[in-house]
Structures are given as structure tokens and as C-alpha cells.
Amino acid sequence: MNQLQLYINDQLVDLSDDSPIALTFQINNLAEVKNQQGNTSNQFKLPLTQRNRQILGFPDDIAFTTGLPYDNYQAKIVQDGLEIIPYGLAVLNGIEQDSANITVLSGNVDFFDALDGKIYDMGDSSSQWTNYGQNLAWKEYDHEWGLNEIVTSQTKQDGWIWPVIDYGFITPDFDKPIDIFTMRPGFFIKTAIDLMIKNTGYKARGSLLQNKLYPKLICQFANDNFEHGTDYQNSTEGTGKAASLLYVTSEQITIDGGQLGMHANSHTDETRPIGFAEYHATTKRVKGTASVIFDMDMHGIANTGDNGYFELYIDYRDANGNASHAETLTVNFTDKAYPAGARERTENFKNLKVTHEFDLAEGDSIFISFHLHRYNTTVFIHKGATFRFDVDQKQLLYGQKVQCERIFPDISQKDLLKDVLQRFGIVCQTDNSKRIVSFNSFADIVANIPIAKNWTGKTLNQGKAISFQLGGYAQVNNMKHKEDDNVLPKNFADAQIKVADKTLPASADLFESQFAPSLNTPYTGGSVAQIKKADPDADANDFTISTSPRILIDQKLDLRSLKNYPTVKFTDGEKTAEVNDIISVPYFYKPDGEYNLCFADKPGTGGKTLPGLKSNYYRELEKILTRTKKVVRYFLLNPRDILELDLLVPVYIEQDGCYYYINKIDSWRAGQPTKVELVKMG
């Protein structure tokens, strides 16, 4: 029996006898550990029978092609009654004559395909990655930037947290309250990964979820700007467009010095509000730009040493009623005034504009006023003049809600997951039928040796080949973090995997993390992580220095365990809150830390060494790369072998007396010899 069936969008298609389907299975090519691989077929041809044309959406008919060819088709491959590929994706690569070129993808491909798009897209209702607003996974973590939230978050172990970080504002006086305007949030990596996986419809399992370091990892804010999410920026409600103002004059405004009671012998100046609406801030904080745009005519004295002129002010009034000029536009007569040479002249002014940016508190307001010089000066502001206040919905202000996806750097979901997998030496395997993705380490594969599959009886005595190198490795393989000019010495957190093979190139980069390392600043109880974003020469609490993304380890410090039982104070300038029990003081590496996020080993306390990520998670790969042996053999694998295939379980070959990691099963077809790449373990 050798019956192969292909279903596309749950419909059985007609196959061609002269274009067989061959399947390749792979999860992680040890020749390229920085990337995860998936299962794929060869490109095969489907005959364009009437049935196939309808299933594929008439791709050969330019006039009547549907939208189906522009999307992935759902695919299922059945061999001898066994669903070898129960959930796959069929891709139409093109049409040639009377055939359609098709490739079927499965395994990790489906999972990583569902993870496409950026992290920021998950806060965008118009994005396909949120199912156009139906699944805003991060919204439940929206929270206010406020004193209470910061204080109560110190004990959090998932979601968002506002830990104590030195952004350049912590002083040697630890008793001084921490200004919460100099604080930024972090977000637990595991919570973020869980959200991303849930959004794909998969469930996670594997040793990564039991790793004690993994749930302590925090992505700590290190972006150049503290911004709202996409939906908030585009909103038309709340502190958004509705908090803006657009006022347009419906008639001409005349400002006549004589009518205002100005006289040559008494006073020649007048300042007062003008007939525009006043803008009132009705939320805790609002930031935006005020602008006035208008055309005007001015008539008055123009050829003396004391000419008439006009000034327009954008004025600020605080909640207590104290007013001041924030911006001034002065309009003087020019050589365009007419009639030329006359004592009294008229001049037309077009598209005059004055603007000012404001950061307002509740109760503050903005209004427009003017100053007119000389009693016989008259100004005519044309109908249609505009006064507007446009709220800046991009910048996040104190008292507003934080959209937590914006704590992360602007990277893709895949990049974040891949960084975590590389950090822990994790191999990813997807079970499409059960919708489960397994995250397991190289150590797990070694631990599975006792349950290894014995493929001795399936081995064919043909085409055996042995090579002593794997892919693009070099003699020195660098495990790197992203660089940051403020973190010195450079490369202090990096490591190398060395391969004793003089035939290899001298060096190569194995991978580079999305995140930079962090140094420490002394603080109560020891130290906290340092992310230098403040210019030490600046007076304001501004984040002006660009930094690379940061990942840290959450550490809970019990203040009650310290001498003299210190308290840590947080203040927003009006209120102060004291914490006398637990605060969060993250770190990247420190000698007395429980963990070390450097790839390299680092000095610990008491003369001990604190193992780095390479020592903890890459020992098995180092052993494999020591006297590497990649063996290519041919096997006769039946459909049940493929159905029950678990690439996390090694195989054993009695002829060699060795256990092997299955690096790749290449172009499997039922009843045909199949080439398999094996890598010797240990």
C-alpha cells in the first residue's frame, strides 16, 4: 500500500504521478543554532484540473482569480491512512503551463508564521496581528503611571513592575526620596512570551518553563521616548482628540485704538484678551501645541520713529489664576506698506503663525491676548482665523495609562522569542495537531538517550558519509550582546565557544542578543542596575541619552533584613510614600547575585565563580562541537516512523555504537530510501 493524499482547504486535490511529494523534517540545524527550522516539502506540481483550479481559486485565469492565491492554504497530507502532516500550510509559488507549483510547510513554520509582526502591532486595533482589534492581548496590563502603582508593584512577579533603576538620578544620599518622574517600568519576559504564544493559539511546554531564572527576567524600559501605544495615539476619545481644541472665527475681529479709549496725550498702549476661545486642561496632565494662524490688515503711523505695531500673545494661566505670556508674535510695518511715503499707511499680512508647546496640569488654561501700540493703530483680523490646541498623544505623561507593549524595544515578536531561546540554549518543536510548542534544551535531548529510538533495522547499507565540521562554525565562535556606548568595558558580558579545529576560519559570530548588558550603581542594601539616560550636566529630569535595550534579573530586597531597617521613599512632588518591606532592585550581573546574565563566567563572592549562560546552557553543544562527526546515512522509514517522529529524542545505530541527534530528515517519501543527517552526541 502506497497511497498519498493531499487536502487543501479540507478538499482532496488531484495529484500528478510524475511530480511526487517529498517531505523534509527539521527543528534546529546544529550547523546554524541562531535560527529555528521547520518542516517543508519539495516544490511539486499540481495538475490544473477543473477541481484543482476551483480549490486554488482559479490562479491560471487572470480575469477570474480569487483572493486565495494571495494567502496560505490550509494543507493536510495523508499517507496510507495516516495523517503525516495534519496541519500544514500550502504555498502557491506560481503557475507554469497547466500546473501549479506548490510547497507545503509545517512544524515550527506554522507557529513562527503566527508570531509574525512587531510587538508594537499587538497594541494596534488595525493590525492583522490583533485580528483587527479582536484580540488586544496586552490591554489587560494597561495601568496608570502613578505613585500608588509604583509602590505596590515592588512585589510583583509577573506582568509590569516599576523597579528601582538608576537612570542617572540616584545620588549617594539614599535617604532622599526617589522622584517617580525619573522612573520607568519594566515587564516580565515570561508574561510577554506567554501572551505571544497564547495569541497564536498554541500552548507551551518544556524545560524552559521550569527554569528558575526565566520567570525573573525583566525587559526594562530603555527606549529614547516614553510613548503611548498605537491605539491611544490614534484615539478620538478621552485624553485624545477630544481634549484638543479647534476654534475658528466666524467674523472679522477689529481692534481700533481709538475705540479702545487710547489717546495720544494719555496712553498709547493697550493689552487685553482677544475674542478667541480659551483652552482648559481637564485631565491630570496634558501635553500639546497651541497655535494661532491668521491673516490681518494693519493701519497706522508708519514713517516716524514711533511707529504703530501689533503683538499677539499665546498666554498661560495656572490653576491659581496667575497668567503670563508664553509666546509673542510682533507685527511691524514693512516696506510693503502703502501708500509709500505717507505718514499713515496700510499693510496686508498673510498666513501669520505663532505656536508654543505646553505641558499642562489640570486646571491650567491657555488664552490669546494682544498688545496694540499707538492710539491711531487699527488691526483687522480676517474671518477664518484659527486658534487650536493639539494634544500630543504620543508622549506618555504622569497620571496617564501605560500601554505595556511600549516598554519593549521596537522589535518583532520573533526577535524577542528568538533572543530568549538563544539565551537558554533552547530547541523549539511544534506539534501542529495538538497545538503545542515545546521549548527544550540540548541537555533535555541528552537526557532522552535512555529512551532513544533504535533505528538499526531501518539502516540501509548505501551512501554513508562522514564529515568533521558543522556549517559555519569557526575556531572561536562569539556569543555577543548588543553594544551600548555607556557600558564599559565593551564585550565584558560576551563569551566564546572554542572549537579545536585548525581547518576552520579564525572567528565568527554565533549570535548577538537584542539586549545590552548593564552595570550597577550603589544603593540601599547593595546596588541596582544602571541605565544611563540622564545627562549629568542637565538640570531637568530629562531622558536625553540614547541607550540600547536592556534585560535584567528581578531581585526582591527585604529592607527588614538590613541594619537599622531603612525605608525607601517615592515622591511625585506632592505626595510621598514610604516602603519599609520589599523593593525590587534588578541587576544584570553582580558578584553577590544569585544568577548571571553574562554569557561568560564572572567572579562571584568568596573567590567563587558565578557561571554564565554559556556554562549553564551550552555545555552539551560544546561537547558536540569537540571532535564533531556529522554522519549521513540512508534509512527506510515507514509512515508510522514519521507520524511518531520526535526530534527531541535521539536515535541509536548499533553498527556505529553511537547515539545521534537527528539534524535533518531530507526528502522523505514512503517506500523510498531517505537521507538523514545525524550528529554524534557526546
Neighbours of 607 (CB within 10 A): 6
Does the pLDDT value for residue 237 go beyond 50? no
d(CA 494, CA 128): 37
Beta-bridge mates of residue 254: 380
pLDDT band, very low/low/confident/very high, at 624 (cuts 50, 70, 90) = confident
The set of long-range contacts for 422-425, using a CB threshold of 8 Å and a minimum separation of 24, is 422/33, 422/34, 422/511, 422/513, 423/513, 423/597, 423/613, 423/617, 424/208, 424/211, 424/214, 424/613, 424/617, 425/613, 425/617, 425/618, 425/620, 425/621
Cβ atoms of 219 and 187 closer than 8 Å: yes
d(CA 13, CA 23): 18
Mean pLDDT of 437-459: 95
d(CA 677, CA 647): 12
Residues with Cβ within 8 Å of residue 441, at least 6 apart in sequence: 207, 208, 424, 425, 426, 427, 617, 620
Q: What is the pLDDT of residues 649-665, one digit of tens each?
A: 999 999 999 999 999 99
Q: What is the pLDDT of residues 20-42, one digit of tens each?
A: 999 999 988 776 767 778 889 99
pLDDT band, very low/low/confident/very high, at 236 (cuts 50, 70, 90) = low
Cβ atoms of 281 and 365 closer than 8 Å: yes
Cell 541607550 locates to: 547
Cβ atoms of 550 and 217 closer than 8 Å: no
Does the pLDDT value for residue 212 go beyond 50? yes
Is domain 241-391 classified as CATH 2.60.120? yes
Calculate the dihedral angle through the C-alpha atoms of 125, 128, 134, 137, rounding to the nearest 10 degrees: -80
Of 157-166, 192-201, 467-476, 508-517, where does mean pLDDT reach its minimum?
467-476
Does the pLDDT value for residue 646 go beyond 50? yes
Mean pLDDT of 598-603: 97
**What is this structure's pTM?**
0.84
Calculate the dihedral angle through the C-alpha atoms of 75, 77, 78, 82, rounding to the nearest 10 degrees: -100
Which pLDDT value is given to residue 313?
Answer: 98
Does the pLDDT value for residue 242 go beyond 60? no
Mean pLDDT of 123-142: 89
SS3 235: coil
Which pLDDT value is given to residue 1?
Answer: 59
SS3 108: helix
User: Where are the chain's structural domains?
Assistant: 4-104, 119-224+403-456+518-612, 241-391
Does the pLDDT value for residue 267 go beyond 80? no
Q: What is the DSSP string of 448-469?
A: TGGG-EE-GGGEEEEEEEEES-
Which pLDDT value is given to residue 185?
Answer: 99
Does the pLDDT value for residue 538 go beyond 80? no
Q: In 514-618, where does DSSP find H-type helix?
A: 613-617
Neighbours of 620 (CB within 10 A): 19
Mean pLDDT of 490-500: 94
Cell 523510498 locates to: 672
pLDDT band, very low/low/confident/very high, at 65 (cuts 50, 70, 90) = confident
pLDDT band, very low/low/confident/very high, at 238 (cuts 50, 70, 90) = very low
Which pLDDT value is given to residue 266?
Answer: 65
Q: What is the pLDDT of residues 372-386, one digit of tens each?
A: 998 889 999 999 999
d(CA 495, CA 513): 12
What length is written for the chain?
682
Does the pLDDT value for residue 239 go beyond 60? no
Residue type for 308, please? Answer: G
Mean pLDDT of 381-408: 92
Does the pLDDT value for residue 368 go beyond 90? yes
Does the pLDDT value for residue 172 go beyond 50? yes
Q: Average pLDDT, whole number, for the chain?
A: 92
Mean pLDDT of 90-98: 92
